[in-house]
Structure 1
Amino acid sequence: MDYDLNYARKALYIMAPLAVMVMYTEGMLIPSLPSIEKEFSVTASQVSWVISIYLLSGIIMNPIAGKLGDIYGKKKILSIVIWIYAIGVTLTGFSPNFVALIIFRAIQGLGLAMFPLAFSLIREEFPPNLVPKAQGTISAMFGIGSAISLPIGAYISQTLGWQYTYHTVIPLVIILAILIFKEIRESRVRLQGYKIDYAGAGILGISLAGIIIGTTEAPSWGWTSLSTLTLLLSSMVLFAVFVIFESKVKYPLISITLLKRKNVLIANLAAVVAGFAIFMAYQSLTYLFEEPNPIGYNLDIFMTGLSLLPLALIQIVGAMSAGRSISLKGPKPVLVLGSAILIPAYFITSILVLNGSSTSIALIILISSISMLGAAYLNVSLINLLTFSVEREVMGIATSINTVFRLIGGSLGPAIAGSIMDTFTTAVKIPNTYITIDIPSDYSFSIIYTISGIVAIIMTVMALLSNNITYKRLETSK
């Protein structure tokens, strides 16, 4: 296959800023979660829906958009999806109440289908030996987006309100949408005669929504209450029904046959546990920084953003170095290394947070930066392990499935973290008053990071079981 490297680089430079755009928006939002919680008078578990609903709608949209891209053209579907995202971003910035915020975030979450389509278009245009570097560049853009959003977005959020950061991102979304429409070529590989499994999408969405609702409301309903147990059990049964349904239907939303391939299965299962641990730990870190003493560090939104900045910078370095390493050695060694780094980082943090604000915040930031380095290695290697293991004809749906599994973990992580913080609380007196408030305890943060560490061990075992593949082997086999 002939490659036009000049066009490939142009396509990369146009689509990589998608990651900057999304992370600018999300990077601003995460430090603002405690403020949103207070503004709309909701609990920590309820405010986690701001993240969870965004990821849940992305879960449902990704396989549909991926399959549509394989059938009708990835550029065409990408152009539609980015305009949906633009609508969601615009509406979210004008949310009048918490219910409206959740609805608009769900619309915005549909735009997460941008990334599998963009990854697939880039994979088609770059020769195999340059794909890891290209995908490493895109992953680095996530870090750049965070690096921009954490000081700038946090300052805007603190001085003008979190809504104004949404207003500032609208022009960038429109510019990228126009550039993609005018400059990006349509994909050259198409699937013929396929249909979209909307029934499967519905079953998947209902089952995952039930699981997230159950974990979110468990602190108020009671973890052992009939309502919680019934909802969680029925949702898990429905998810099992989805798996059986997908194995029988002619045009499945998620191909069970494709999942039977060892590397594809490992890449997707690993995406679940990686998304779960990373999202859970990252959200908890924000609360830890902004909680009052003696549990947290009593930082405002702007200082929280500055404190998280080293994590964004290390993500840039990690993603770029991961891309180069994968080009030389293949994705497996980098995947194992990234997973292994997370284990001590999470367990050490789980011990440090028990000391509350008496632990140096610089030490917390250092350990968290190390964990972000591992996460960067892990994310870049996972997408390369997957794309090197499937044919071009199914690249769109394969990358979409991987995003679905990553988002499943990512949607459950914040929900469970919020539930744990609501379940294990401690009373803190407001300075200069007789008023006490309940806030997440140091024990709740320790539990969260301990769970993340256990999940990282599972991730490492999966990485060791994968088969390595390099671009040289890929070229000789295709």
Structure 2
Amino acid sequence: MEAKKKWDLLALASIPLVMTLGNSMLIPVLPDIEKKLNISSFQVSMIITVYSVVAILLIPIAGYLSDRFGRKKIIIPSLLIAGIGGLISGWAAWQSDHAFMVILIGRFLQGIGSSGAAPVVLPLVGDMFQDEKEVSSGLGLIETSNTIGKVISPILGAYLATIIWFLPFWLIPVFCVISIVFVLFLVKVPKKKEQEKQSFKEFVKNIKEIFHIEGKWLTAIFLIGGIIMFVLFGILFYLSTILEEKYNIHGVMKGLVIAVPLLALSICSYIAGKKIKQNKVVMKWCTFLSMVLLGGSAFLITFTENVYFLLGALFVAGIGIGAALPSLDALITEGIEKEARGTITSIYSSMRFVGVALGPPIYAILMKSSHEMVFYTSAGVSAVAALAAFFAIKPEKEKGGGGDKENKDKKQQQVDNLKPALE
């Protein structure tokens, strides 16, 4: 990989890092926010959910706009909007009059910004490289940045909250400004040939065509990505609450404990991104086995509430999630033509945000039932993800995407027929 491209990648890696910090940094602070604003655990979960719901709705549109007008032209304004949202939330928490509703408005704006920033990074990495090995390696770095943000965020958020409880809100615009500077000066977008601008009607039609050709495995990957985020953010929300209420662990120490499974996630994400290369068969089995590992570790937690066993099992769960994410990213980025890559990866990102949005409020309800119900649910949905990976993801057996010649020729003909509409 060229040294110049490495700087581009590092600048792009700042975007998922910023977006992750802007969301996950609040996880350990949610119990404090709940007490300060005198709201319920379900209400406080809305601080994560509102951010995610608006992103779900807007991410596909951001993908369409990035395909039509260019990735960088969408990323930079989006980072600016996310920063403004952080300022509004921070100001509302500081003033404290009707703080909760105004914080949600700020988080709404952050969601708008996030929808046009982080999801556009994946197709841009695909645009930057021709070699599939470099694409996989680049995606591994981006996913690692995302997961490193998840490791740092609970520690940083918990530390900042010990100074002033609403300080994490104020740091979000600072991170956004840094990322804007990096992207402006370091990221060089590859020149693309002039294309006829696609109307929104054509955009919808082309999505239908793509799903007609690739729908089975794409749907499986969307489902798996959503389940992973659902379990991850649900468990983090659960962990943040019980560490204080049951184990009397507070402040930075709580942030460090929450970071344990996220550290495993980060390390495995980096290693998997390096090892899977362009082998789609490896990607499939890595995803399947990762979901089995996630479901198995969640199921074992139902037998005990010992904090050390809990953290050990969640460390293993983090390994499962970390190994799966780069495989899912690579399957989509390398399996879809460049002309439609922004659209499809944005829908994938949207499905991941569905999991982020549903996780905290559903786990808040499950927590009222029992510890066992939380992890039975986690194990059950992980099993669904494993089955989806096993039965629906069917990569060609030959290295580089070969396989049955008749099926391959048929698929290639379908893609060739689709290209004029996309171009």
Query: For this structure pair, what is the TM-score category when the shorter chain's length is used for normalisation?
Result: 0.7 to 0.9
Letter in 2 for 1:326: I
Separation in structure 2 between the aligned mates of residue 345 and residue 271 of structure 1, nearest angstrom: 18
1:454 and 2:406 aligned: no
Tell me the distance in 2 between the aligned counterparts of 1:86 and 1:455.
34
Q: What is the distance in 2 between the residues matched to 1:287 and 1:187?
A: 46
Amino acid at match of 2:348: N
Letter in structure 1 aligned against 2:322: A
Query: Aligned partners of 1:164 and 1:134: how far apart in 2?
Result: 33
Task: Give the 5 Å matches for 1:29-48.
Answer: 29-48=26-45
TM-aligned CA distance change 1:186 to 1:48, over 3 Å? same
Q: Distance in 1 between matches of 2:356 and 2:150?
A: 17
> What is aligned with 1:252?
204
Name the structure 1 match of 2:146.
Answer: 142
How far is 1:80 from its partner? 1.3
Structure with the larger helix share = 2
Aligned counterparts, 1:90-129, within 5 A: 90-95=87-92, 96=96, 97-113=99-115, 114-126=117-129, 127-129=131-133
One-letter amino acid of the counterpart of residue 77, structure 1: I
* Aligned-pair CA distance for 1:24: 2.7
User: In 2 relative to 1, CA 342–28 (structure 1 residues): closer, same or farther, beyond 3 Å?
Assistant: same
Distance change (3 Å), C-alpha of 1:156 and 1:45: same
Equivalent residues of 2:147, 2:262 under 8 A apart: yes
2:284 corresponds to which of 328, 332, 343 = 332
Instruction: Trace 1:33-112 onto structure 2 (pairs within 5 A).
Output: 33-95=30-92, 96=96, 97-112=99-114
Q: What does residue range 2-401 of structure 1 map to in structure 2 within 5 Å?
A: 5-95=2-92, 96=96, 97-113=99-115, 114-126=117-129, 127-161=131-165, 163-189=166-192, 192-196=196-200, 250-252=202-204, 255-260=207-212, 261=214, 262-291=216-245, 296-327=246-277, 329-330=279-280, 331-353=283-305, 359=306, 361-401=307-347
Cα deviations by residue, 1:287-339 (Å, 9 ceiling, x for unpaired): 12121xxxx21211322101122223212211111112211643212111211
Counterparts in 2 of 1:116 and 1:146: CA distance versus 1, 3 Å: closer
The 3-state SS of whatever aligns with 1:366 is helix
Give the superposition deviation at 1:28.
2.3
Q: Report SS of the residue matched to 1:193.
A: coil
5+ residue gaps, structure 2, are: 403-407, 416-423
Q: What displacement does 1:175 show?
A: 2.2
Find 1:468's aligned residue among 395, 399, 415. 395
CA contact (8 A) 1:71 1:192 kept: no
Deviations 1:65-113 (A, max 9, x none): 1100000111111111111111112222222311111111111112222
CA contact (8 A) 1:329 1:470 kept: no
Separation in 1, partners of 2:350, 2:17? 20
Cα RMSD (Å) of the superposition?
Answer: 2.4
Contact 2:13 2:145 in 1 (8 A): yes
8 A Cα contact 1:63 1:253, kept in partner: no
Unaligned runs of 5+ in 1: 197-248, 354-358, 425-442
**8 Å Cα contact 1:263-1:385 kept in structure 2:** no
Query: 1:391-470, aligned counterparts within 5 Å?
Result: 391-421=337-367, 423-424=368-369, 443=370, 445-465=371-391, 466-468=393-395
Q: CA deviation at 1:474?
A: 5.2
Report how many aligned residue pairs link the two structures. 392
What's the offset of the Cα at 1:119?
Answer: 1.2
Instruction: Label 1:273 to 1:143 Cα distance change in 2 as closer, same or farther (>3 A).
Output: closer
CA shift at 1:385, angstroms?
1.2
State the alpha-carbon separation in 2 of the partners of residues 45 and 37 from structure 1: 9
- Measure how far apart 1:250 and its partner are: 4.6
What whole-Å deviation, never above 9, does each CA across 1:134-174 have from its counterpart, x for those lacking one? 1111111123223333333311112321x212323433321
Structure 2 residue identity aligned to 1:332:
K
The residue number in structure 2 matching 1:428 is none
Q: Measure the CA separation in 2 of the matches of 1:366 and 1:469.
A: 36
Once residues 32 and 446 of structure 1 are traced to their aligned partners in structure 2, the CA distance between those partners, rounded to angstroms, is 24
Q: Structure 1 470/406 Cα, relative in aligned 2: closer, same or farther at 3 Å?
A: farther
Once the two structures are superposed, residues 455-475 of structure 1 have per-residue CA deviations (whole angstroms, 9 ceiling, x without a partner) of 000100111120236995259
Aligned residues of 2:269 and 2:324 also touching (Cα < 8 A): no
How far apart in 1 are the matches of 2:110 and 2:205?
Answer: 22
Change (3 A) 1:91 1:283: same
Give the superposition deviation at 1:54.
0.6
SS at match of 2:91: coil
The 1:86/1:410 distance shift into structure 2, 3 A limit, reads: same
Q: Which amino acid aligns with 2:260?
A: P
Give the superposition deviation at 1:388.
1.6
TM-score w.r.t. length of structure 1: 0.77
Aligned to 2:419: none
Distance 1:68 1:178 in 2: 22
Asked whether the 8 Å contact 1:263–1:386 carries over to 2, the reply is no
Deviation track 1:242-292 (CA, whole Å, cap 9, x = no partner) reads: xxxxxxx6542992332331322221122222222222222112112121x
Q: Which residue of 2 aligns with 1:214?
A: none
In structure 2, do the counterparts of structure 1 residues 80 and 187 end up closer, same or farther at CA, with 3 Å as the change threshold? farther
1:386-406 deviation digits (Å, cap 9, x = unpaired):
112110001111110001111
Conservation of the 8 A alpha-carbon contact between 1:46 and 1:418: no
Q: TM-score, normalised by structure 2?
A: 0.86
Amino acid across the alignment from 1:103: I
CA distance in 1, matches of 2:400, 2:105: 46
Cα distance per residue 1:22-44 (max 9 Å; x no partner)? 33333321011111111111111
> Identity rate of aligned residues, in percent?
24
- Bigger shift: 458-467 or 278-287? 278-287
